[in-house]
Chains A and B, each alone.
Chain A
Amino acid sequence: MTTATLSKPISKPRKRRQPSNLGTSIGIVIILIIWLIPTVGLLVTSFRPISLINTTGWWTALNVNNGPVSAQHPDPNAGYVEKLSTRFTIDNYVDALTGYRGTGTYLDACASGITPLGMKCNITDLVNPRGMGRAFLNSLIVTIPSTILPIVVAMFAAYAFSWMDFKGRYAIFAILVGLQVVPIQMTLVPVLRMFAGMGINGTFPAVWLFHTGFGLPYAIYMLRNSMSSLPKDLFESAYLDGADHWQVFTKIVMPLITPAIASLAIFQFLWVWNDLLVSLVFLGGSKPVMTYQISNMVTSLGAGWHLLTAAAFLSMLLPMIVFFTLQRYFVRGMMAGAVKG
């Protein structure tokens, strides 16, 4: 995005232009409800038992008497809260995390002594390769280096583009600006072959390298924007004091651009975390990440809604936490990097 948009605060306090009228407020509330309903439906469904998910709508979740006979509370005279508590469960999450795909639930199967195929009924099932627990770990293993590497490399390059003098500085940077919008599709086949030649297809370093390459143009662009807007006097006085580039870079520039690095890191982290295409092509099923695992459940395994909703919510957990705690940085990073890859 443009520098102008970036340097502007996302929202600054100011006098309201028009008095809020009732019509507008009601309209907005309706819009917000429409916007929230799909996500709420997913969240509610992920906590309901299979038998109820398939026979009653999630919006009736607070009705404690509908659904099949098997789902009813054994005591018809039990209190509302008592009945309600049996109509919600965390089994879906346990099943999704462990990758249990049987007819009952993982906890029931283990409690009855029938160990599900390929499982041990102990804590190690959480990292069963078929489950979302392992996929969560894989996603972290993919994402952390894929966030740190491009930013470190980009910091050096951005410094050179902002405060060093060399031939072709402008031309190289202009090319880099253009590279930001190159679609990933344009590079998949050659890189896949290159990795096949190196024998690293289906390994973590393959995705680290690819994400580093594709993250660089935007990372450099964004860091250079914030580095070059630092006041000139800083550099002049540092120079008069006899500092060299390395000292200026590490002691002055890096601390000052921490907010920009935070925005960039959040953007890149979520971009990689939410990515499907790159993991699909370079990792596939050998090291399934969360997005891969879910898309696999949707497209080929035909997993039930109880597993899908729980798995989808697990994959959204981290982005949601980041979004609600670091919203300011998040929005800024998103705004600036929206055209990437």
Chain B
Amino acid sequence: MARAIALPVMKQKKGVPWLYLLPALIIMSIFILYPMINTIGLSFQNADSTASAATTCREGQPCWGVMENYRYALTNELNTESAQTTWESFWISSYGNTIKWLLVMVTGTVGLGLIFAVLVDRIKLESLAKSIIFMPMAISFVGAGVIWKFVYNYGTTQVQTGILNAAITSLGFEPIAWLSKIPLNTFMLIVVGIWMWTGFCMTLLSSAIKGIPEEIIEASRIDGATNFQIFSRIQVPIIAPTIVVVITTMVINVLKLFDIVYVMTGGNFGTNVIATRMYTEMYTNAQYGRGTAIAVILILFIVPFIIMNIRRFTKQEAMR
């Protein structure tokens, strides 16, 4: 609490601050805090929250008692016949897919964002190039879903009206049903995510790169460093803290991702992720217990980032 004095504070009547604060605090308590706690409670109850989740257990079936919804959430997608089927079914389950999304989309957006940030720094029309890369951020996921569904369009006739299939058939290959072919389809969805979010990573990384003092770059150039050496040995290490921030932001975004999958495949053909599965259980199947259990699992993944966020804030405040 060292910083409480850091800001000058005017004299005030007691209670005045609360007049300014109360509307916000009340609204946030009703719409965020209370529902969060309530969600945890509901995840231990049955579909319409009238009894404990343990009552939904069936005889002869595995049962985790009051944790039954968690058993369902964690194991239902798995085919446990043998070790191999378990492994295979895991990688098309919502968890396996979320891991694919995390690995590919985070490396894709941050990697491309970094490369673009360095490259556009060297050309004349820098701001135009940046606008074009950033533009997809303005579009909704739904709009992007339609755009890319058309790119991936799979024609049953001779003529391919989707540009991707047109391109590969002109090279002599067979057209591919990009969105229903497992496991290719999840990666095709991830491409859409990368297209949308690379601009975001690029902008943050680019402003960090521009913050590096000119002298450092110049000195290393005089010492004979190549462009690539400057990039890998100087620029990247200096902006490492920003890269970490960008990565964590992207991880949080990917974990919550819902719209792309919902619009493009509806979670079918083995493309479900945690967020779409939560929606299906809760809304389509009216299984509140199971839906909330999945939500709790989702937030467990996010809790470390909540803590990190608060830590970072505390550090920043200490430096003010």
A residues lining the B interface (CB < 8 Å): 1-5, 8, 10-12, 14-21, 24-25, 27-28, 31-32, 35-39, 41-42, 45, 53-59, 153-154, 156-157, 159-166, 169-170, 172, 174, 176-191, 194, 209-210, 212-214, 216-217, 220, 228, 232, 235-236, 239, 244-245, 248, 270, 273-277, 280-281, 291, 294-295, 298-299, 305, 308-309, 311-313, 315-316, 319-320, 322-324, 327, 330-331, 334-335, 338-339, 341
Contact = CB atoms under 8 A, between A and B. Distances in A.
Nearest to B40: A186
A15 B217 CA distance: 12
A112 B151 CA distance: 35
6 contacts: A19-B122, A20-B122, A178-B307, A184-B256, A274-B143, A277-B258
B98 to A, nearest CB: 13
Contacts of A160: 17, 20-21
B10 interface: yes
Given A15-B214, A183-B298, A209 B31 contact: yes
B169 to A, nearest CB: 11
A55 B126 CA distance: 39
B313 A217 contact: no
B70 interface: no
Interface string B237-281: 000001001000100110110110011101000000001001100
A148 to B, nearest CB: 14
B275 A185 contact: yes
Interface residues of B, number: 115
Contacts of B242: 5
B10 A235 contact: yes
Interface in B138-159: 138-143, 145-151, 153, 159
Given A322-B138, A324-B131, 10 more contacts: A1-B204, A20-B124, A42-B150, A153-B23, A189-B42, A216-B28, A294-B146, A299-B263, A327-B131, A335-B204
Contact of A174 (B33, B227, B245, B310): B310
A36 B132 contact: yes
Query: Lowest 4 A-B CB distances belong to which pairs?
Result: A213-B31, A274-B140, A187-B35, A157-B24
A183 B120 CA distance: 34
Nearest to A321: B138
A214 B306 contact: no
Given A35-B195, A165-B12, A187 B31 contact: yes
A11 B11 CA distance: 40
Contacts of B259: 276-277, 291, 295
A171 to B, nearest CB: 9
Contacts of B58: none
Interface in B105-119: 116, 119
B92 interface: no
A41 B139 contact: no
B210 A11 contact: yes
B202 to A, nearest CB: 11
B182 interface: no
Contacts of A28: 119-120, 123, 129
A170 B3 contact: yes
A178 B270 CA distance: 33
